[in-house]
Amino acid sequence: MPQGLETIRENLRSVLLDPERALGLEVHGRTDAAVLVPLYLKGGELHAVFTRRREDLRRHAGEISFPGGRHDDGDADLRATALREAHEEIGLPPDGVEILGALQPTPTIATGYAVYPFLGLIEPGREWTISAREVAEVIELALPALKQGYARRRLVRRGLPIRTDTYEVGEYLIWGATARILADLLDRVAAVG
Residue closest to 61 by CA, chosen among 183, 176, 184 = 176
What residue segments make up the domains of the chain, in order of their start? 5-142
3 state SS of 21? helix
pTM of the model: 0.92
Angle (nearest 5°) at CA 43 between 39 and 48: 20
What are the DSSP calls for 50-76, one per residue? EEEE-TT-SSSTT-EE-SEEEPPTTSS
Architecture of the structural domain at 5-142: Alpha-Beta Complex (3.90)
> What number of other Cβ atoms are within 10 A of residue 3's Cβ?
8
Sequential pLDDT tens for the chain (193 residues): 344 889 999 999 999 999 999 998 988 888 999 999 999 999 999 999 999 988 776 665 678 999 999 999 999 999 999 999 999 999 999 999 999 999 999 998 778 899 999 999 999 999 999 998 989 999 999 999 999 999 888 877 667 777 889 999 999 999 989 999 999 999 999 988 7
